[in-house]
Amino acid sequence: MRETVETVSAHRSADTRLKPGANETGFSICIKLKCARATPRSNPSRQRRRGWCVGLLVLVLWLPVAVHAERYLTSDEAKKLCFPQADRFEERVHSFTVKQKKDIEKQAGSPVRQRGQRYWIALEGTNVLGVLVADHVLGKHEIIDYAVAIAPDGRVLQVEILEFRESHGYEIRGVKWREQFKNKTTKDKLRLNGDIYNISGATISCRSVSEGIKRVLATCELVLRPAPGTDRVPDKSGSTRN
């Protein structure tokens, strides 16, 4: 008899623990119990590791662009570097006509994608020292900004890389590679692996800048260059004045 009473008490105790509240049913309690078992416990350490991994991935994807996008010179710095004896510079922006673009493309052997050309005339008093042409070309993926200083007789005086954004090919900024353009004119081929040597690992940058300089020389000869040996300066319309 005593065992029967203990058994009944045990069952009643169990019923009391599982007894639903006023607004609950046995089915809702069953769902709660299952959800409690299915929901994993949060692991702060694991969440922190995931956060570090995501942050590291973003950093790795961003670094190649951030590290290699470097501005070496501004246009003002390039002007003073290429023409240190100049006492003033006159800025011009020439808009190409359809005929001028065709003439430049024919002489340079490469397309003219710009609508015009920005350049500065370097002057010492009334003497024209030359022009500095600001230009850009497409490397493998990014734009390369550079400037070419050209004498009144059409010779290249100096080439400067203004800004380089690629992750490879920055070796073109080296003095040795840029020096080979000095005294080049439109009569030179400016052909990579010909009169212009290539840099291993920077082939696309070398080719793009070489073709760009050849186009700039053609543009200067056909459109921009002041008359050599005179003090005439092109005005904003492209004509000359004394």
CA distances from 104 to 110, 173, 201, 214 (A): 8, 26, 30, 10
The range of the structural domain enclosing residue 33 comes to 2-38
Q: What is the mean pLDDT of residues 10-36?
A: 47
Report pLDDT digits (tens) over 129-182.
999 999 999 999 999 999 999 999 999 999 999 999 998 899 999 999 999 999
Is 18 found in the same domain as 79? no
Name the average pLDDT for the chain. Answer: 80
Tell me the C-alpha distance between 214 and 189, whole Å: 8
Tell whether 135 is covered by a domain: yes
Same domain, 92 and 209: yes
Asked if 117 and 171 sit in the same domain, the reply is yes
Tens-place pLDDT, residues 50-82 = 666 555 554 444 444 444 678 999 999 999 999
Answer yes or no: do 169 and 91 share one domain: yes
Would the pTM of this model clear 0.75, i.e. be above it? no
Q: How far is CA 122 from CA 88, 129, 219, 222, 231, in A?
A: 6, 5, 17, 19, 11
Residue 49 lies in a domain: no
pLDDT at 43: 66
Q: Given pLDDT bands bounded at 50, 70 and 90, which one contains residue 1?
A: very low
- Where is pLDDT greater, at 222 or 3? 222
pLDDT at residue 42, rounded to an integer: 56
The string of DSSP codes covering 1-48 is -HHHHHHHHHHHHHHHHH---TT--HHHHHHHHHHHHHSPPP-HHHHH
Give the model's pLDDT for residue 70.
87
- 10 plus 112 within the same structural domain: no
149 assigned to some structural domain: yes
Which of 18-22, 82-86, 193-197, 213-217 has the least mean pLDDT?
18-22
For the segment 114-125, the average pLDDT, to the nearest whole number, is 96
Please say whether the beta carbons of 161 and 71 come within 8 A: no
Tell me what pLDDT residue 232 has. Answer: 47
Mean pLDDT, to the nearest integer, of 97-122? 96
Nearest to 91 by CA among 134, 60, 51, 56: 134
Helices then strands, each counted (H, E), the chain: 7, 8
Single out the residue of 159, 145, 219 nearest to residue 186, CA to CA.
219
What is the number of structural domains in the chain? 2
